[in-house]
């Protein structure tokens, strides 16, 4: 079998790592000559809307998938014209590329989301404040990630300036959610409609970037865990999604509130390579290729700490008990995800010390 991937970054790299042992050959399309996945897969170095590049990455592929949701419409159209199967299907992309459609979908499914209002012109500010109040967060409807394209609005008076800062139109203004912690849930759906859910995890962010995931989320009552998984299932079914998706969630005193959907493998699922019976990457590959999904159960407990900015010394990370290191091979740059370290242990108590060590090393490297 053969799999094409739009994007050749670390997500595609880990997808290729999961595909290759199954005898699935992989080609990635990525304009960067240093794309991580290019080290282990065929690399088509071209822009995402380059027609020859799209032809090359999909040549002989059973399926083409993607590692990021902002796929140019021209790319999707070209692959459709070639008769190539692209999974997840377009509905997963078109809905999740737009925060407003994403929120509408979830609200329609009875999933709790933050109050929000759409802003298409500076004049919409007043109505939005009436509906949502302040403080809040103003976001672009499209193309935001890792905290980019977002502005905190502390008081009602700050909203107009924020609207101007983000371009004046195609914005969404969201009420703040009083959450006790951030969670996420990863689910996979097969071509036959089969569904599996990973245990919900707890996430910590820093500077808008995921810094740490603990899996399963500590002390999450089973009913809450099931509610989170039910949100993932409902979204996947409503989208007719094939493969892996992630829903970012808030844990609140009033229950779980959904934040946003990523229609792909997600940084908060990286722990699953070592921490689950079947990783999110293996299940995405299985799902889009029509193969049976694997068991998403956690094996003991795990944590993932992102390596951001600069990399700690490899030997120091490997000296930590239960540590596995994943280096993406990217040049250091402030705020750039360069890798991650996963820690596994039999119990939360046994995980605490290794996790503290990894966090300390990675925090120091982040600041360096």
Interaction site with a second copy (CB under 8 A) = 17, 20-23, 25, 39-40, 277-278, 282, 286, 290-292, 294-295, 299-300, 314-315, 318-319, 321-327, 329, 339, 344
Rounded to a whole number of angstroms, the minimum distance from the CB of residue 344 to a second copy is 6
323 is written with which tokens?
Answer: 């540590």
User: Residue 1 or residue 134: which is nearer to a second copy going by CB?
Assistant: 1
Rounded to a whole number of angstroms, the minimum distance from the CB of residue 51 to a second copy is 28
Rounded to a whole number of angstroms, the minimum distance from the CB of residue 83 to a second copy is 24
User: Residue 60 or residue 108: which is nearer to a second copy going by CB?
Assistant: 60
CA atoms of 264 and 260, how far apart (whole Å): 12
User: Residue 144 or residue 294: which is nearer to a second copy going by CB?
Assistant: 294
Rounded to a whole number of angstroms, the minimum distance from the CB of residue 327 to a second copy is 4
137 is written with which tokens?
Answer: 């967060």
Rounded to a whole number of angstroms, the minimum distance from the CB of residue 2 to a second copy is 13
Q: Is the dihedral of CA 215, 208, 237, 294 positive or negative?
A: negative
User: Residue 278 or residue 280: which is nearer to a second copy going by CB?
Assistant: 278
Rounded to a whole number of angstroms, the minimum distance from the CB of residue 97 to a second copy is 30
80 is written with which tokens?
Answer: 């459709």
User: Residue 16 or residue 153: which is nearer to a second copy going by CB?
Assistant: 16
**Terminal Cα distance for the chain, rounded:** 44
Query: Please, are residues 41 and 26 in contact by the beta-carbon 8 Å criterion?
Result: yes
Provide the 8-state DSSP code for 264.
S
User: Residue 175 or residue 190: which is nearer to a second copy going by CB?
Assistant: 190
Question: DSSP assignment of 300-357, as one string?
Answer: SEEEEEEEESSPPPHHHHHTSTTEEEEE--PPP-TT-EEEEEEEEESSHHHHHHHHHH
Query: Please, are residues 327 and 364 in contact by the beta-carbon 8 Å criterion?
Result: no
Rounded to a whole number of angstroms, the minimum distance from the CB of residue 326 to a second copy is 5
The single residue listed with the structure tokens 């844990």 is: 251
Closest C-alpha among 4, 7, 11 to residue 273: 11
Closest C-alpha among 142, 234, 249 to residue 203: 249
User: Residue 52 or residue 349: which is nearer to a second copy going by CB?
Assistant: 349
User: Residue 52 or residue 315: which is nearer to a second copy going by CB?
Assistant: 315
CA atoms of 325 and 252, how far apart (whole Å): 33
Rounded to a whole number of angstroms, the minimum distance from the CB of residue 54 to a second copy is 24
Rounded to a whole number of angstroms, the minimum distance from the CB of residue 198 to a second copy is 15
The single residue listed with the structure tokens 């290759």 is: 20
User: Residue 41 or residue 93: which is nearer to a second copy going by CB?
Assistant: 41
- Give how far the C-alpha of residue 317 lies from the chain's centroid of Cα atoms, to the nearest Å: 24
Query: Please, are residues 57 and 44 in contact by the beta-carbon 8 Å criterion?
Result: yes
Q: Which residues on neighbouring strands pair with residue 244, listed in sequence order? A: 188
Strands 25-29 and 2-6: parallel
């Amino acid at each position: 079998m053969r799999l094409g991937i739009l994007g050749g970054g670390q997500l595609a790299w880990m997808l290729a790592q999961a595909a290759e042992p199954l005898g699935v050959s992989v080609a990635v399309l990525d304009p960067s000559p240093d794309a991580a996945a290019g080290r282990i897969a065929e690399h088509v170095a071209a822009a995402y809307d380059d027609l020859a590049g799209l032809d090359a990455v999909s040549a002989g592929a059973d399926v083409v998938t993607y590692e990021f949701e902002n796929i140019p419409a021209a790319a999707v159209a070209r692959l459709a014209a070639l008769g190539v199967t692209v999974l997840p299907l377009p509905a997963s992309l078109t809905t999740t590329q737009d925060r407003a459609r994403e929120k509408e979908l979830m609200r329609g499914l009875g999933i709790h989301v933050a109050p929000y209002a759409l802003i298409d012109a500076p004049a919409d500010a007043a109505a939005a404040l009436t509906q949502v109040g302040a403080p809040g967060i103003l976001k672009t409807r499209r193309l935001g990630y890792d905290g980019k394209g977002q502005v905190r609005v502390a008081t009602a008076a700050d909203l107009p300036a924020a609207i101007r800062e983000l371009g004046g139109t195609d914005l969404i203004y969201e009420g703040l959610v009083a959450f006790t912690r951030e969670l996420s849930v990863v689910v996979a759906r097969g071509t036959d409609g089969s569904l599996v859910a990973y245990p919900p995890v707890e996430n910590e962010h820093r500077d808008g970037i995921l810094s740490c995931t603990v899996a399963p989320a500590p002390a999450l009552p089973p009913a809450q865990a099931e509610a989170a998984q039910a949100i993932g299932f409902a979204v996947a079914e409503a989208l007719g999604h094939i493969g892996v998706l992630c829903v970012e969630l808030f844990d609140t005193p009033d229950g779980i509130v959904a934040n946003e959907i990523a229609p792909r493998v997600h940084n908060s699922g990286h722990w699953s390579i070592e921490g689950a019976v079947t990783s999110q990457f293996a299940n995405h590959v299985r799902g889009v290729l029509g193969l049976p999904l694997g068991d998403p159960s956690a094996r003991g407990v795990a944590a993932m700490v992102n390596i951001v900015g600069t990399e700690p010394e490899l030997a120091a990370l490997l000296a930590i008990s239960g540590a596995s290191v994943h280096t993406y091979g990217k040049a250091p740059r402030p705020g750039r995800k360069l890798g991650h370290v996963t820690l596994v242990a039999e119990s939360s108590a046994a995980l605490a010390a290794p996790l503290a060590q990894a966090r300390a090393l990675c925090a120091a490297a982040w600041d360096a």
